[in-house]
Amino acid sequence: MKDLIARQLYQPAVVLPLLLLTRLMVTLDFNLAQVMFVMVLKGSQHAYQFALRHTVARQRGNVAVKRVPCSNCC
């Protein structure tokens, strides 16, 4: 059982979100209200991008759109 837990903890899908949350909490001095505000804001941005991507795909005749550039990253 220990080996199973150890293998699962080193998966990028588990480690990366924990590292991002830790970095965000350190940046905001462990203020949970600010951390939640930032997480909600980022979640709403992702939801908007998701909706935009599917709306553009529908307008183009259901052709899959791989990426819609955003103004915040890349």
Query: Domain check: are 22 and 43 in the same one?
Result: no
Mean pLDDT of the chain: 84
Q: How confident is the model at residue 50 (pLDDT cuts 50, 70, 90)?
A: very high
User: Which pLDDT belongs to residue 47?
Assistant: 95
Residue 73 lies in a domain: no
Query: Domain check: are 26 and 36 in the same one?
Result: no
Q: Distance between CA 63 and CA 47 in Å, rounded? A: 20
Query: Domain check: are 20 and 9 in the same one?
Result: yes
Phi-psi region of 70 (alpha: psi -120 to 50; beta: other; left: phi over 0): beta
Q: How confident is the model at residue 31 (pLDDT cuts 50, 70, 90)?
A: very high
Six token digits for residue 27 = 């940046």
Q: Please say if the pLDDT value at position 26 is more than 80.
A: yes
Residue 48 lies in a domain: yes
Residue 49 lies in a domain: yes
Q: What percent of the chain has pLDDT over 90?
A: 46
- Give, as one character, the DSSP assignment of residue 69: -
Query: Domain check: are 25 and 51 in the same one?
Result: no
What domain range includes position 3? 1-30
Residue 72 lies in a domain: no
Q: How far is CA 61 from CA 50, 51, 65, 66, in A?
A: 17, 16, 11, 14
